Amino acid sequence: MAVPGLSWLIGTTVVTVFFAIGAWQRRWIADDGLIVLRTVKNLFAGNGPVFNAGERVEANTSTAWTYVNWFWAWVTGGQLEYVVLWVALVHSVLAIPIAMYGTARLYRRRWLPAPGKKALGITLLLPLGSVVYIALPPARDFATSGLENGLVIFWIACLWCLFLAWAQRDPERTDARARAAFLFLAFFAGLAPLIRPEITLLGALVLLVLFCAPIGWKMRVAMVAVAAVLPVGYQIFRMGYYAILVPNPAIAKDASGSKWDQGYVYLTNLFSPYLLLIPVILAILVGIVLVLTRPRGSTPEEIDPHDHVADDLPDILDPVGEYKRSHAERWVDFQARLQQPSTVVTTVLLAGILLTLYWTRQGGDFMHGRVLLAPLFILLLPVMAVPATFPATARSALSRWRLAAAGFIVLVVGGTAWWGAAISQEVVAASPMDIGREGIVDERRFYVANMGNPNPITAEDYLDYPRMRAMVETLEEVRDTGGIVLPSGSYDHWFVAQLRKNLPEDMQGQTTLYFLNLGMTGMLAPLDVRVVDQMGLAYPLAAHTDRLQDGRIGHDKNLPTAWVIAESGGVAGGRGLPGFIQTIDVRRANVALTCPDTQDRFVSYKGTWSFGRFARNLRDAVGFNGYRIVRQPEYEILRCGLEPVPEPSR
Q: Please compute the mean of the pLDDT values over residues 404-431 and round it to a whole number.
A: 50
Total count of residues recorded for the chain: 650
Q: Is pLDDT above 70 for 265?
A: yes
Residue 646 falls inside a structural domain:
no
Q: Which of 423, 451, 480 is the last residue of a domain?
A: 423
Q: Please compute the mean of the pLDDT values over residues 313-334 and round it to a whole number.
A: 58
Q: Please compute the mean of the pLDDT values over residues 84-105 and round it to a whole number.
A: 96
Residue 532 falls inside a structural domain:
yes
Residue 650 falls inside a structural domain:
no
CA distance 538 to 532: 6
The pLDDT of residue 358: 95
Q: Is pLDDT above 80 for 2?
A: no
Same domain? For 418 and 508 the reply is no
Domain containing 481 equals 466-640
Given a contact cutoff of 8 angstroms between Cβ atoms, the answer to whether 529 and 513 are in contact is yes
Residue 327 falls inside a structural domain:
no
Bridge-based pairing state of the strands 529-532 and 483-487: unpaired
pLDDT bucket at 393, cuts 50 / 70 / 90: low
The pLDDT of residue 259: 87
Q: Please compute the mean of the pLDDT values over residues 96-118 and round it to a whole number.
A: 77
Q: Give the SS3 label for residue 29.
A: coil
Q: Please compute the mean of the pLDDT values over residues 223-236 and round it to a whole number.
A: 97
Choice between 155 and 646, residue whose per-residue pLDDT is larger: 155
By CB neighbour count within 10 A (0-12 exposed, 13-18 middle, 19+ buried), where does 306 fall? middle
pLDDT bucket at 110, cuts 50 / 70 / 90: low
Outline where DSSP puts E strands in 488-551.
Answer: 494-497, 511-514, 529-532
Q: What is the pLDDT of residues 438-476, one digit of tens each?
A: 788 889 989 998 898 999 999 999 999 999 999 999 999
Q: What is the pLDDT of residues 24-53, one digit of tens each?
A: 999 999 999 999 999 999 999 999 999 999
Q: Is pLDDT above 80 for 538?
A: yes
Given a contact cutoff of 8 angstroms between Cβ atoms, the answer to whether 589 and 566 are in contact is yes
* b/e 475-495 (16+ beta carbons within 10 angstroms → b): beebeeebbbbbbeeeeeebb
Beta bridge partners of 122: 390
CA distance 609 to 624: 18
CA distance 196 to 199: 5
Closest alpha carbon to 23 in 81, 88, 72:
88
Q: Is pLDDT above 70 for 418?
A: no
Same domain? For 228 and 343 the reply is yes
C-alpha of 300 from chain center: 43
The pLDDT of residue 397: 56
Same domain? For 278 and 389 the reply is yes
The CA dihedral of 274, 275, 281, 287, to the nearest 10 degrees, is -30
Given a contact cutoff of 8 angstroms between Cβ atoms, the answer to whether 414 and 128 are in contact is no
Q: Is pLDDT above 80 for 72?
A: yes
The CA dihedral of 25, 29, 30, 31, to the nearest 10 degrees, is -150
Same domain? For 417 and 472 the reply is no
Residues 6+ apart with CB under 8 A from 411: none
Q: Is pLDDT above 50 for 138?
A: yes
- Between the alpha carbon of residue 535 and those of residues 3, 37, 543, the distances in Å are 55, 19, 6
pLDDT bucket at 69, cuts 50 / 70 / 90: very high
The pLDDT of residue 427: 34
Given a contact cutoff of 8 angstroms between Cβ atoms, the answer to whether 163 and 347 are in contact is yes
Residue 450 falls inside a structural domain:
no
Same domain? For 253 and 349 the reply is yes
Q: Please compute the mean of the pLDDT values over residues 140-162 and round it to a whole number.
A: 96
- Between the alpha carbon of residue 296 and those of residues 11, 288, 292, the distances in Å are 22, 16, 12
Q: Which of 368, 389, 423 is the last residue of a domain?
A: 423
Q: What is the pLDDT of residues 478-509, one digit of tens each?
A: 998 999 999 998 899 999 999 998 888 888 88
* H helices present in 568-632, as ranges: 583-592, 596-606, 611-625
pLDDT bucket at 324, cuts 50 / 70 / 90: low
Three-state DSSP string of 426-488: CCCCCCCCCCCCCCCECHHHHHHHHHCCCCCCCCHHHHHCCCHHHHHHHHHHCCCCCEEEEEC
Choose the weakest-confidence range: 58-72, 292-306, 623-637: 292-306
Closest alpha carbon to 63 in 148, 153, 125, 3:
148
pTM above 0.85, yes or no: yes
Residues 6+ apart with CB under 8 A from 171: 214, 306, 336, 339
Q: Please compute the mean of the pLDDT values over residues 543-568 and round it to a whole number.
A: 90
The pLDDT of residue 329: 72
CA distance 215 to 128: 35
Q: Please compute the mean of the pLDDT values over residues 8-18 and round it to a whole number.
A: 89
The pLDDT of residue 192: 97
Q: Please compute the mean of the pLDDT values over residues 426-434 and round it to a whole number.
A: 41
The pLDDT of residue 399: 53
CA distance 571 to 562: 10
Residues 6+ apart with CB under 8 A from 108: none
Q: Specify the number of domains making up the chain.
A: 2
Given a contact cutoff of 8 angstroms between Cβ atoms, the answer to whether 508 and 567 are in contact is no
Residue 614 falls inside a structural domain:
yes
Q: Is pLDDT above 90 for 118?
A: no
Choose the weakest-confidence range: 8-17, 479-488, 538-547: 8-17
Q: Please compute the mean of the pLDDT values over residues 162-183 and round it to a whole number.
A: 90
Given a contact cutoff of 8 angstroms between Cβ atoms, the answer to whether 439 and 366 are in contact is yes
Going across the sheet that includes 529-532, the strands are: 494-497, 483-487, 511-514, 529-532
Same domain? For 392 and 540 the reply is no
DSSP state, 454? S
The pLDDT of residue 551: 81
Same domain? For 370 and 475 the reply is no
Q: Which of 423, 446, 478 is the last residue of a domain?
A: 423
Same domain? For 145 and 77 the reply is yes
Residue 434 falls inside a structural domain:
no
Residue 314 falls inside a structural domain:
no
Outline where DSSP puts E strands in 483-538.
Answer: 483-487, 494-497, 511-514, 529-532
Q: Is pLDDT above 60 for 63?
A: yes
Bridge-based pairing state of the strands 511-514 and 483-487: parallel
Percent of residues, the chain, with pLDDT higher than 70: 84
Q: What is the pLDDT of residues 185-213, one digit of tens each?
A: 999 999 999 999 999 999 999 999 999 99
Same domain? For 52 and 133 the reply is yes
Same domain? For 419 and 272 the reply is yes
Same domain? For 373 and 473 the reply is no
Residues 6+ apart with CB under 8 A from 80: 37, 40, 41, 69, 73
Same domain? For 249 and 397 the reply is yes
The pLDDT of residue 257: 80
By CB neighbour count within 10 A (0-12 exposed, 13-18 middle, 19+ buried), where does 511 fall? buried
CA distance 247 to 255: 10
- Between the alpha carbon of residue 196 and those of residues 64, 152, 201, 230, 257, the distances in Å are 8, 7, 10, 14, 17
Q: What is the pLDDT of residues 100-109, one digit of tens each?
A: 999 998 887 6
DSSP 63-126: HHHHHHHHHHHHHH---HHHHHHHHHHHHHHHHHHHHHHHHHHHTGGGTSPPTT---SEEEEEE
The rounded mean pLDDT for the chain is 85
Closest alpha carbon to 569 in 525, 522, 506:
506
Given a contact cutoff of 8 angstroms between Cβ atoms, the answer to whether 23 and 85 are in contact is no
The pLDDT of residue 626: 92
Q: Is pLDDT above 80 for 567?
A: yes
